[in-house]
């Protein structure tokens, strides 16, 4: 598989077919409660149209609307709030009419609530007042009352003598229980049957109606009550998985302390703070917005954004991210992103979008369920119609067994097994600083056999550091000589000179007549004496090289170091070796990759000697240097031919062609880097290469849980199929089995929300 999306910019809002940001998830019971009282417009994308859909309050209806809109060209984004029964749709003007027609043909009636400017639409009516938590509580009370009535009907049937009176009481109790628990299911079920769709509501409506018509009144009532209660429990569990990442939103405080034009400080809403404003945070407070520190120094806990367990020291010029925690001292920072575009907000949008991309296993399950449910429905009809002739059953017994099969046929556990698992894994990864942009990449990562890695900024820190220094003048004073070198280097903007100045940490001396020598180094005077600070070539031109110095320079150069020499007109005084050091995590990451059976390969444009030295230090055997971007692309193709699936880890900018060709592209250091977040399929937010093997391990765990859930759901159904046809399975037992399977697969999928463990 070739990654065709690596270079596409990340959409600012969820994919048109992504089930992002749904507030409630259920499978069709009345337990969903009333629609929300007010419509929260803060999360509505700019230019989106908001519609209320009265009959949409669960994941079944949401999925049907998404399927109806899939063939409609021009639909750019969808966002649902099931609790409020609202849908925000971003659509081209020319496609709006077709989109609404598609929704209506699916059996729903969209009611406009705003126009494209966000203003209320003409004639729009507010949603009915919700009960919120109170509504959920009242719904649960109603379902418990239905269960009590169903139990009462069972008790009357079991204890009361036969007669018209007890029969009427039994039927009345059952009807009351069904009315309390199942009216909404009936409405949706019959609507689905009229449209020729066999969803869970249709199956339950047919099964309960059939049981009631053959005189199984208490059992019909018990089935509907148990179904509705189990749906409520399942809905809450699914909701936890679907909205797991939304908990990150609460990490960013609503208020920010902003400096006013007169120098005073005032609390203001974070979403109203403008770019460039100065914000102050005290110790213990969370950072409200992204910014760059202008004053102060402190340690920041960045775990919510990057997954780093150790606080990071921040001072003037360092970036800070919304949702992180200031720990030790007050800081002031300049805002660089508004609330809707912070790194935290972009992470949430990306994960929401990823939640909607159907993983390969999920697509398989959806296709299987689409065939499985009608097949079981036909089987149930065949049993009801043919078994009295073929097996000698009574008509009542045959119809009853067929109805039990319909209850067992509910595909809920099977269908729900994959999205819960995928979403849990995506949320777990995001909390660890791993942003996976789709279920496909989550599943495919386990298949990687080779990973190519860029050197600079990926394996190494990407910043040159002074790694060795030596006084060469035996008569010189090291402190004096090094102070002169630091002073001259401090006047230059060259990265190597900056590394020398920072690494020497000597008190600066006054220097004059500073002159840059392009391609060679710099020249300056100190106390009337002239000095040069430059490379090997400059020293050779000065005629100051000796065989011993040449040998020492060769050793450093073979080790991948850049050597700079300080010399006066008569002699070389000191040697300074600068190198781009490898990250502390690189060696461990390469060892973990090899333990997983993945071959690490270094691809770099740096010279071969430096590449070999870095590769040897990091533990990489296959090192390829002096590569141009197109040559890196060819190298990825060669790895795919040799190993199979191959990934590429880079900075998301210079390595764009290779990232695009790789089966999965990993961008390093995504925190605060727009290009990195947009370029790759997986973004490692904190530059820690160990997150790469962690992603592969998570992929393998997710794949195992996916198939555990599928096996569990189908296995339980198979057992009860046999019991229903040849044993004594009852309808309420079938409901327990089906809902039990649903809850088991949800609970198993939620295990992935735990932090990934290393092997």
Q: Is 693 helix (H, G, I), strand (E, B) or coil?
A: helix
More confident residue, 196 or 286: 286
Q: Angle of helix 200-213 relative to helix 164-194, nearest 10 degrees?
A: 150
pLDDT of residue 29: 36
What is the pLDDT at residue 676? 57
Neighbours of 644 (CB within 10 A): 12
**Average pLDDT, stretch 211-229?**
80
Tens-digit pLDDT profile for residues 743-756: 788 888 888 877 65
User: What integer is the mean pLDDT of 712-739?
Assistant: 78
CA nearest to 279, candidates 327, 336, 344, 325: 336
Mean pLDDT score of the chain: 77
> What is the average per-residue pLDDT within 165-192?
82
**Residue 465, CA distances (Å) to 11, 224, 561 in order:** 38, 70, 10
> pLDDT class for 25, splitting at 50, 70, 90?
very low
Cα gap 734→208, rounded to integer Å = 12
pLDDT tens-digit series, residues 254-307: 888 999 998 899 998 888 888 899 999 988 888 888 899 999 988 888 766 766
Confidence of residue 253 (pLDDT cuts 50, 70, 90): confident
Q: Flag whether pLDDT at 35 surpasses 60.
A: no
The pLDDT of residue 36 is 33
Which range of 86-95, 258-267, 352-361 scores highest in mean pLDDT? It is 258-267
Asked if residue 430 has pLDDT above 70, the reply is yes
pLDDT at 30: 33
> How many whole angstroms separate alpha carbon 474 and alpha carbon 20?
70
What does the pLDDT look like over 377-415, one tens digit per residue?
A: 888 888 888 888 888 888 888 888 888 887 777 777 777
The 3-state DSSP class for residue 655 equals coil
Bridge partners (DSSP) of residue 291 are: 320, 335
Q: Which residues contact 257 (CB under 8 A, 6 or more apart)?
A: 265, 266, 267, 279, 280, 281
Look at residue 588 in the predicted model and tell me its pLDDT.
Answer: 93
pLDDT over threshold 50, residue 721: yes
Give the span between the Cα atoms of 30 and 494, in whole angstroms.
68
**3-class SS of residue 262:** coil
pLDDT at 163: 63
Say which DSSP state 17 is in: T
**For residue 207, how many C-alpha atoms fall within 13 Å in the half-sphere facing its CB?**
34
What pLDDT score does 641 carry? 92
> If you average pLDDT over residues 496-502, what whole number do you get?
85
Higher pLDDT, 698 or 408: 698
Active-site pick, 57, 184, 239, 454: 454
Q: What is the pLDDT of residue 57?
A: 58
> For position 293, what pLDDT does the model report?
92
8 pLDDT exceeds 50? no
Span 419-433, mean pLDDT?
81
Would you call 479 a catalytic residue per the annotation? no
Q: Is the pTM of this model over 0.75?
A: no
If you compute the radius of gyration of the chain from its CA atoms, what whole number of angstroms results? Answer: 33
Look at residue 235 in the predicted model and tell me its pLDDT. Answer: 64
pLDDT in tens, 567-597: 887 888 889 988 878 888 899 999 999 999 9
Q: For position 678, what pLDDT does the model report?
A: 67
d(CA 337, CA 288): 11
Alpha-helix residue ranges (DSSP H) falling in 391-515: 395-408, 412-431, 439-444, 478-490, 495-504
Residue 9 has pLDDT above 60, yes or no: no
Instruction: List the domains of the chain with CATH numbers.
Output: 48-112 (3.30.70.100), 255-341 (2.70.150.10), 463-580 (3.40.1110.10)
* Lookup result for tokens 């994960």: 351
Of all residues in the chain, the percent with pLDDT exceeding 70 is 79
Cβ of 606: how many Cβ atoms within 10 Å? 19
Distance separating alpha carbons of residues 657 and 631, to the nearest angstrom: 10
Tokens read off for 307: 């997954």
Taking 3-state DSSP, the helix, strand and coil percentages for the chain, each rounded to the nearest 5, stand at 50, 20, 30
């Amino acid at each position: 598989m070739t990654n065709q999306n690596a270079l596409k910019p990340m959409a600012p809002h969820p994919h048109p077919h992504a089930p992002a940001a749904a507030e409630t998830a259920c499978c069709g019971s009345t337990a969903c409660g009333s629609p929300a009282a007010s419509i929260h417009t803060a999360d509505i994308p700019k230019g989106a149209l908001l519609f209320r859909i009265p009959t949409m309050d669960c994941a079944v209806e949401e999925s049907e609307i998404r399927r109806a809109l899939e063939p409609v060209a021009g639909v750019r984004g969808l966002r649902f709030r099931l609790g409020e029964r609202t849908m925000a749709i971003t659509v081209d003007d020319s496609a709006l009419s077709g989109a609404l027609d598609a929704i209506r043909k699916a059996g729903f009636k969209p009611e406009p609530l705003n126009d494209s400017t966000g203003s209320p639409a003409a004639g729009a009516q507010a949603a009915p007042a919700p009960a919120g938590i109170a509504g959920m509580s009242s719904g649960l009370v109603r379902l418990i009352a239905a269960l009590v009535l169903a139990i009462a009907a069972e008790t009357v049937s079991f204890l009361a003598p036969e007669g018209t009176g007890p029969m009427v009481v039994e039927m009345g109790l059952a009807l009351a229980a069904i009315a309390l628990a199942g009216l909404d299911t009936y409405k949706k079920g019959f609507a689905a049957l009229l449209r020729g769709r066999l969803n869970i509501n249709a199956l339950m409506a047919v099964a309960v109606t059939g049981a009631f018509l053959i005189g199984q009144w208490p059992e019909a009532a018990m089935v509907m009550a148990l179904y509705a209660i189990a749906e409520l429990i399942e809905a809450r569990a699914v909701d936890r998985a679907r909205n797991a990442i939304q908990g990150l939103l609460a990490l960013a405080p609503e208020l920010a302390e902003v400096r006013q034009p007169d120098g005073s400080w005032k609390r203001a809403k974070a979403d109203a703070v403008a770019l460039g404003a100065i914000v102050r945070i005290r110790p213990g407070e969370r950072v409200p917005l992204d910014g760059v520190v202008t004053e102060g120094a402190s340690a920041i806990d960045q775990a919510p954004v990057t997954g780093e367990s150790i606080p990071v020291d921040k001072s003037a010029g360092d970036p800070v991210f919304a949702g992180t925690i200031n720990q030790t001292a007050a800081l002031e920072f300049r805002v660089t992103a508004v609330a809707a575009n912070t790194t935290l907000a972009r992470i949430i949008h990306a994960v929401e979008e990823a939640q909607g991309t159907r993983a390969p296993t999920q697509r398989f399950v959806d296709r299987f369920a689409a065939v499985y449910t009608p097949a079981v429905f036909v089987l149930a009809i065949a049993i009801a119609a043919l078994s009295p002739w073929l097996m000698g059953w009574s008509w009542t017994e045959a119809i009853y067994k067929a109805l039990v099969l319909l209850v067992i046929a509910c595909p809920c556990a099977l269908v729900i097994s994959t999205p819960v698992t995928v979403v849990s894994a995506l949320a777990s990864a995001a909390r660890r600083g791993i942003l996976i942009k789709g279920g496909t990449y989550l599943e495919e990562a386990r298949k990687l056999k080779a990973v190519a890695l860029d050197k600079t900024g990926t394996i190494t820190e990407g910043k040159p550091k002074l790694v060795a220094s030596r006084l060469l003048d035996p008569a010189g004073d090291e402190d004096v000589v090094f102070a002169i070198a630091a002073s001259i280097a401090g006047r230059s903007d060259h990265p190597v000179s900056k590394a020398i100045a920072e690494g020497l940490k000597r008190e600066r001396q006054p220097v004059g007549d500073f002159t840059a020598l392009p391609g060679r180094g710099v020249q300056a005077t100190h106390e009337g004496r002239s000095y040069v600070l430059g490379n090997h070539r400059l020293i050779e031109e000065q005629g100051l090289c000796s065989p011993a110095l040449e040998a020492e320079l060769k050793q450093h150069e073979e080790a991948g170091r850049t050597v700079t020499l300080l010399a006066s007109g008569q002699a070389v005084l000191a040697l300074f070796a600068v190198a781009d050091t490898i990250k502390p995590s690189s060696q461990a990451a390469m060892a973990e990759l090899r333990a997983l059976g993945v071959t690490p390969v270094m691809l770099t444009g740096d010279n071969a000697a430096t590449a070999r030295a870095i590769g040897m230090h990091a533990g990489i055997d296959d090192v390829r240097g002096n590569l141009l971007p197109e040559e890196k692309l060819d190298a990825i193709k060669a790895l795919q031919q040799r190993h199979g699936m191959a990934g590429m880890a880079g900075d998301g900018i210079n390595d764009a062609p290779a990232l695009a060709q790789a089966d999965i592209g990993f961008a390093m250091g995504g925190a605060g880097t727009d290009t990195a977040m947009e370029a790759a399929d997986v973004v490692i937010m904190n530059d820690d290469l160990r997150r790469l093997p962690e992603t592969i391990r998570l992929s393998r765990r997710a794949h195992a849980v996916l198939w555990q859930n599928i096996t569990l759901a189908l296995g339980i159904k198979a057992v009860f199929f046999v019991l229903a046809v040849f044993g004594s399975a009852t309808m309420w037992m079938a409901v327990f089995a089906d809902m039990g399977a649903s809850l088991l697969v949800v609970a198993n999928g939620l295990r992935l929300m735990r932090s990934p463990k290393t092997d």
